[in-house]
Amino acid sequence: MADPSLSEVERQRLVDELMRARRAVGIAKRAETLLAERSARAAVDEAKRALGERGPVWWQDGAPDLNRHMARNTPYADWFANLGRSGEGVIDKIE
């Protein structure tokens, strides 16, 4: 989720940048150009950070930042372990 403090105009500008960068990643991968791919991936990261999707958290609710944690190492571990057992999830096996 993007940082809600961004104006709609700024958010859209950053989303457009992100989409351009993602397209550039695909083009570089198809062309097998490692340097261009690295540059495009850096542009994706920069856009995601500007949007607030990566980097420091933008919310101030006191909740822990569980980004980049495996579900089994969070308070959601039991829920995650039961996905697929009740038919509600699509994950049958996690290795």
Span 1-59, pLDDT tens digits: 899 999 999 999 999 999 999 999 999 999 999 999 999 999 999 999 999 999 887 87
Contacts 24+ apart (CB under 8 A), 80-84: none
Helix runs in 4-76, H state only: 8-31, 34-51
pLDDT at 88 over 90: no
Consecutive H or E run containing 95: none
